[in-house]
Structures are given as C-alpha cells and as structure tokens.
Amino acid sequence: TPPRDAAAAKRRALEALQAISPAMEAVASREQQKVARLESLVLRAFAALEHRGLAIDEVGWRALVHEAAEKRDRARREVFLALEDVVSRDLFGEPDLSLDNDADVRAAIEKATKMPLPDVAKSTLKELDHPVGKALLGYREASKIVSTY
C-alpha cells in the first residue's frame, strides 16, 4: 500500500535502504558493481514479463520444431546410409547404433573410414572426408532444436 504522507514515505525509504545496505556492501566488496547495475537496468523488463507473460507465436514455434524433426530424421537416415556396411540391424531392421553414444559412433565411423578418430566433436566431423561427418552434424543440430523446444 502507498504511504499516506511524506513522513511515512521517508520512513519506508529509509527502511528499504537499511534493508539493502548489507547487500550493496557485499556487491562492492566483491567488485560486482557492473553486474548489479546491469541487473538493475533489466529489472523492470523482467518484472513486466513476470507480470504479463511473454507472447509466443505457438504456431510458428511448433512449425520450427516440426521442421527440425524432419531434418533430424532425414539426417539420421543419411548417417545410417553412410554407415550401412558397418552397423548391424536389430530384429526389426533398425540400425543397432545410438547416435547419442559418442563411443559407439566413433567406433562405427572408424570402421567405415578405416581411420582412427581422436573424437567425434564438431570440429573433427567437419574435417572428416566422408559423408557420415556432414550427416551426423546435421543430425546433432536438428536434434538439439527438437529437444530444446
């Protein structure tokens, strides 16, 4: 509730100042004034978002996720096409390799390329002279979008 008079307003302001003084001293002792200033600058915007919410284009968002899921599935097929000679299939004809298991993926790529790989990091896959590198990068990128949103 708003204060009724100037004296009450002054009293509330002093109480607020006394309440935050220890925090401000801690900020100063840790040399975090720039961080505190930045947080203060965005406080109103975040308070407004908290109060009103954030408008989201749900149809557009769902379309983005759907498109990424299609890209992920296409890239997954490309990966397994590039590795078809080295990846076995299960009883239902599905490739018996998890593309999320880096150790198994690395072993399959090494078997397909007949070259040792230090890892299956993005930089390594970009340099790989084999179709599986590009396909796996596409799979990972699209999977990240699908799992995030």
Mean pLDDT of the chain, nearest integer: 91
Contacts with 61 (C-beta within 8 Å, 6 or more apart), sequence order: 149
Phi and psi at 141, nearest 5°, equal -60, -50
Separation CA 37–CA 24 (nearest Å) = 11
- pLDDT (tens, 9 = 90+) of the chain, 149 residues, equals 666 788 888 888 899 888 888 888 888 888 888 888 888 888 888 888 888 888 788 899 999 999 999 999 999 999 999 999 999 999 999 999 999 999 999 999 999 999 999 999 999 999 999 999 999 999 999 999 999 87
Q: 139 with 69: CB under 8 angstroms?
A: no
Residues 63-97: pLDDT tens digits? 999 999 999 999 999 999 999 999 999 999 999 99
Q: Which two tokens stand for residue 82?
A: 């590039």
DSSP string across 33-89: HHHHHHHHHHHHHHHHHHHH-----HHHHHHHHHHHHHHHHHHHHHHHHHTTTT--B
pTM beyond 0.75, yes or no: no
CA distance 53 to 32: 29
Rounded Cα–Cα distance for residues 37 and 94 (Å): 55
